Structure 1
C-alpha cells in the first residue's frame, strides 16, 4: 500500500454517497431534508496541491451546496490544465507557487485549501493569510506546535479564519458517540483505545522524508488517534508517555517513526492507549469505555462507510461523503459563523501538535511528559 491515501481509499471502496444535508446534525437527522434547495452564500475555494487527496476533495465538492471549487494552485502546469478542463476553472483563477500571492486581487476566491506536504503548510498558510483569504489546512497543520501557533497568529492578524481538515468532526456516527458521551450515556469515561496504521509502500515518497513530513507515521496516521482520544474522552490530556519500535531503519530513517505506542492521561482519571504505525495493516479502530457503557468504531477514520456500535446496539446514521460534508460545514463556519460540535479551528490543530511534540519528547527521554493545552 503506497500511502495513507491508498489505505483510506481502500476503506471507502464500498461507500455509497448520499446528497448532503446542509443543516445536518446527528441528533436531528431528517431524511426528508436531503436534496432541498440551498439559498445562502457560497464559499469559493481554490485548492493548493493537486495530488490524490486534492483530487478527492475536488470530486466531493461537486455535491456541495455551500462550497464551490473556483481556483487551483500547483507547481505542475499539466495538472493545472487537466483541472481547468475537468472542473471548468478559468485561466485567471490558476496560480503556481511563485505567484499565488496575487489571489489577493481575485474576488472569485474566498478561501484556499492547502493540501501539500506537511513542512510546506506553515509558509503557504501565512502567505494565503497575508493575501486576505481564509485558509483550510490539511492535517497535521504543521510540523510542530510552534509553527502551528505562528500560523494561527498570522491568520488572526490578517483577520481571516484558519480551519484544519478534520473531516471526522462532521461524521455522523462519530458525532452520535460524542452526543451520547455528553449526555452521560456512558457514565464516567474510563478508557480509550485508538489504533491507527497501515503498511506504507514506496520508500522514496515524501511521507518518509523527514524534511517534508516532519516525522513518520505519527504525523500521517497517528494524529487520528491523538485527536480521537480528545473528542471521544471529552477532555484535554494532561500527560503522555510513549515508546518507539523501529524494525526497518533502512526504510524508516532517523526522525521518521515507524511504530509508536503512546498513552495519555486525562484530568477526570481516564487513560488512553494508542498505536501509530506504518508497518501493520488493518488498524483503524476506536474504542471508548465508561462505567455505564461503551462505543466502538471500526473502521473509525477511513473514508467510509464508518461502522460502529455501542452498548445500545449498532449505529445506523447515514454515510455521506466526508469531504462533501466537511466543505459544506466549513463554508457555514467561515461565511455564517456556525459553531461545529467538535472544533476545527487552528487552535484545535495546535493542541494536536503540542501532543505530537510531547510524544516525540517522551520517546527520546523515556519519561512521562506533562501537557498544558
Structure 2
C-alpha cells in the first residue's frame, strides 16, 4: 500500500461489519432529507485519488454540488468534464484559477493538493473572494497556517479544514459520552496511526512537498484525535523519532515518531505516527468510570467502536458526503459543529506538530500555548 488513502480504504474494507450505505443521507446530523434550500457550489482543486473520492461522495450530497475543477493536467480535466458534467467555463488550471473571482457558479474551492502547495493556493482562493476548504494538514508549519487564517479573515471568506472525522457518528457519540460525564474524569488517551508506505518516489516522501513524513500525513489523525477525544488542549509535548531506513526516509522525512501530550486536567496521551508498521488505526480513551475504543478509528468506514457499556452501532454514512453537507451548512447557514473544523482548529494542530518536531530535535519536553 503506497499512500494514506490506500491505507484508510484498506482499513475500511477489512473492517466491514455493516453494509456500506452511501445513499443514506445524514438526516440525523442536519435534517436535510427534503432539503430545498441553497446549495454550496464547489470547485475541487487537485484531481487525484482523494479528489475523486470527494467528488463521488458529493453525488449524494443535498447541500453541496460539484460545479468546477482546477488541475494542472488537461487530460484529467477532460475526463472529469465527461464524468461529472463540468462545463468548460468552470474549468481552470493552476495559472489561471484566480479568474474564479468572476465566476458565479463557484462559491467555494476544496484544495486537495500536496501539503506545501496549500498556503499559496488557499490565499489565492481567498483573494478571489471564494470560501476555502483545505485538506489537512492545512500547511507545513504554523507560520503558514496563521497567514492562511489571516488572509481568509481579511477577504471575509470562511476557511474550513477537511476534518471528516469531526462529523463521524461513532466518534461524536464518544465525544457526547465524555462531555456528559459518562466516562468520568478522563485519564488517558492512546492514538495509533500508521501503515507501511510504498513508492519511495511519491510526493509524501518529498520534504519540499510534504513538509515532513508520516507525521504530516497519517500522524495528524492522532494529534487531532487526542484533542477532540480528551476534550482539552495540550500544554506540553515530548517526542522521540525512530528511523530504520534512512535511504527511503531522507533528512526531514520522519519514518516513526512516538509522542506524548499532557493536558491541564492531568490527563496524558501516548501516540504513534509511522510509515513503517501496518494495522495501526486505533483510538482508546480511558476515564475513571469507563472507556471508549475505536478500531478502525479514522479509516473511510465503517468505523468500529465499543465502550464500557457495549458496542457502538450508529450507522455508517459515507464520510465525505456528510462532511460536505455539514460544511455547506457551516458556510451557508453559519452552523456551529460539535467539533470545530475552521482554520483556527487546523492551526492548533500545526502548532502541536511544530512542537513535536522541536521536541524530537531537543530531546526534551516542549511547552504548548494554543
Q: Same fold (TM over 0.5)?
A: yes
Shift in Å, 1:120: 0.1
2:133 aligns to what SS in structure 1? Answer: strand
- Determine if contact 1:222/1:277 at 8 Å carries over to the other structure: yes
User: Shift in Å at residue 225 of structure 1?
Assistant: 0.3
**Does the aligned pair in 1 maintain the 2:26–2:317 contact within 8 Å?**
no
Q: Where does 1:206-285 land on structure 2 (aligned, <5 Å)?
A: 206-285=203-282
TM-score (norm 1): 0.97
Q: State how far apart, in whole Å, the 2-side matches of 1:208 and 1:300 are.
A: 24
Is 2:80 aligned against 1:100? Answer: no
The question of 1:359 aligning with 2:356 is answered yes
Which of 113, 116, 119 aligns to 1:119? It is 116
In 2, Cα distance between the equivalents of 1:181 and 1:285? 18
Deviations 1:45-80 (A, max 9, x none): 000000000000000000000000000000000000
Distance 1:278 1:319 in 2: 27
Is the CA contact (8 Å cut-off) linking 1:22 and 1:65 kept in structure 2? Answer: no
Find the aligned partners of 1:22 and 1:37 in 2 and give their Cα distance.
Answer: 11
- Gaps of at least 5 residues in structure 2 are none
Match in the other structure for 2:3: 3
Partners in 2 of 1:253 and 1:66 — Cα distance? 43
Q: Return the match for 1:78 from 69, 75, 80.
A: 75
Matched, 1:334 2:342: no
Aligned counterparts, 1:184-195, within 5 A: 184-195=181-192
**How big is each residue's C-alpha offset from its partner over 1:151-199, in whole Å with a ceiling of 9 and x where there is no partner?**
0000000000000000000000000000000000000000000000000
Indicate if the aligned counterparts of 2:177 and 2:183 stay in contact, CA closer than 8 A. Answer: yes
Match of 1:130 in 2: 127
* d(CA) in 2 for partners of 1:96, 1:222: 31
Pair 1:17-2:21 in alignment: yes
Match of 1:37 among 29, 34, 50: 34
Query: What's the offset of the Cα at 1:253?
Result: 0.1
Q: CA deviation at 1:22?
A: 4.7
- The residue aligned with 2:66 is 69
Asked if the contact 2:25–2:317 (Cα under 8 Å) also holds between the matched residues in 1, the reply is: no
Aligned-residue offset at 1:24: 2.6
1:139 aligns with 2:139: no
Cα separation, 2, equivalents of 1:5 and 1:18: 18
Please report the RMSD computed on the Cα atoms of aligned residues, expressed in angstroms. Answer: 1.1
CA contact (8 A) 1:223 1:352 kept: yes
Distance 1:58 1:268 in 2: 41
Q: Is the 8 A contact 1:45 1:112 kept in 2?
A: yes
Instruction: Work out whether 1:311 is the aligned partner of 2:315.
Output: no
Encode CA deviations 1:14-40: one digit per residue, 9 max, x unaligned. Answer: 460243445534xxx9xxx7x832111
Alpha-carbon distance, 1:119 to partner: 0.2
Tell me what 2:200 maps to.
Answer: 203
How far is 1:11 from its partner? 1.9
Question: For the residues of structure 2 that align with 1:76 and 1:157, how far apart are their CA atoms?
Answer: 31
Q: Give structure 1 regions of 4+ aligned residues with deviation exceeding 3 angstroms.
A: 18-23
1:9, distance to aligned residue in structure 2 (A): 1.2
The answer to whether the Cα contact below 8 Å between 1:20 and 1:324 also exists between their aligned partners in 2 is no
| 3-state SS in 1 of match to 2:217 | helix
Q: 1:22 to 1:308 in 2, by over 3 A?
A: closer
Aligned: 1:322 with 2:326: no
Matched residues in 2 for 1:12 and 1:43: separation? 28
Q: Which runs of 5+ in 1 are unaligned?
A: none
Q: Tell me how many residue pairs correspond in the alignment.
A: 366
